[in-house]
Amino acid sequence: MKLIDVSVFGGSWPFRAHARRTPEQLKAYLTARGVGQAWLASASAVFYPDPMAGNEELFAETGEEPFFIKVAVIDVTLATWERDLTNCFERLGCLAVKLFPNYHGYGLDDPRVLRLVALCRERRAPVCIQVRMMDERGHHTLMKVPAVPVEQVVALAQRAPGARFLVCGAYQGELHRLREAGNVWADLSFVESGHTLRVAVNALGAQRLVFGSHTPLHSFGAGAAKLDVPPGDVEPDTVRRIRAENALSLLRG
């Protein structure tokens, strides 16, 4: 089974120069590196006053390309967020939703978040929470954005046991805190150590880790190298799960 990448962005990110911004460019780049499917969200939508402009812009280019799982960026502070969510599911064909609480200015204890989770659960769609987009040490001097505390994710997941959550961008030291909620998965995009995969598996478990490269903001090669481990370090069956099977389970429920 080919690799499934749950953390890919199209569009523009104002603090990082990158050449691959369109779905066509991203697909060519990722398929050449063994990726069979990519979860795609709009980086532009994080900063647009209305994230739907970023969703529309990106997914108009994506069309019905089956390589991509479309991930809608929703801002629950906007009066139109419920309508936006419906449009993303029904008109744009999105299969998952991504939240940026730290960039959009709300906490995960906001009642609107629980309402969104309930609506996503009805459609069997996972809710992705991007806890950070950049290492905090690399933020622009005038825009320091604290990470979303993973404890907030755990609290939300425990309030919605029938929903499925994906934490994107957690550090290695944050993974063990996610064990308290059995309906939370995590990607590897910001997990770094001398033995990244083994440490991550020990922290969260083999069935709740998924591969995410954070392309194009991170080097895909560096992300893929985390899966290149000797059998004595991590069992081949575990690597296979993290490469694709866990992502399929997360998406399908």
CATH number at residue 16: 3.20.20.140
8-state DSSP, 46: G
Q: How many CB atoms lie within 10 A of CB 62?
A: 19
Beta bridge partners of 185: 166
> What average pLDDT does this structure show over 230-247?
93
d(CA 200, CA 209): 8
Number of domains in the chain: 1
Strand residue runs (E) in the chain? 3-10, 35-42, 68-73, 96-99, 127-130, 165-168, 184-187, 209-210
pLDDT grade, residue 144 (50/70/90)?
Answer: confident
Check residue 218 and give its pLDDT: 87
**pLDDT tens string 38-90:** 999 999 999 999 999 999 999 999 999 999 999 999 999 999 999 999 999 99
Mean pLDDT over the full length of the chain: 94
Give pLDDT, residue 20.
Answer: 63
Structure tokens at 186: 């995590």
pLDDT in the model for residue 139:
65
pLDDT at 68: 98
State how far the alpha carbon of 30 is from the alpha carbons of 14, 56, 126, 146, in Å.
22, 22, 23, 30
pLDDT at 96 over 90: yes
The yes-or-no verdict on residue 230 having pLDDT over 90 is no
What the block records as the tokens of 233 is 């370090």
Spatial separation of the C-alpha atoms in residues 12 and 200, rounded to whole Å: 30
Report the distance separating Cα 57 and Cα 51, nearest Å.
Answer: 10
Query: For the segment 166-217, what is each residue's pLDDT rounded down to a tens digit?
Result: 999 999 999 999 999 999 999 999 998 778 999 999 999 999 999 999 999 9
pTM given for the model: 0.94
Euclidean distance between CA atoms 212 and 35, whole angstroms:
11
Sorting pLDDT into bands at 50, 70 and 90, what band is 1? confident
Q: Which residues contact 112 (CB under 8 A, 6 or more apart)?
A: 76, 77, 81, 106
Report which DSSP code applies to 170. -
Rg (CA), the chain: 17
Q: What pLDDT shows up at residue 140?
A: 67
Q: Which domain holds residue 59?
A: 3-252
Question: Which parts of 123-208 fold into alpha helices (H)?
Answer: 150-159, 172-175, 196-204
Per the model's pLDDT, the better-predicted residue between 139 and 251 turns out to be: 251
3-state secondary structure (DSSP) of residue 156: helix
In this predicted model, what pLDDT tens digit does every residue of 98-125 receive, in sequence order? Answer: 999 999 999 999 999 999 999 999 999 9
Q: What is the C-alpha to C-alpha distance for residues 64 and 237, in angstroms, rounded to an integer? A: 32
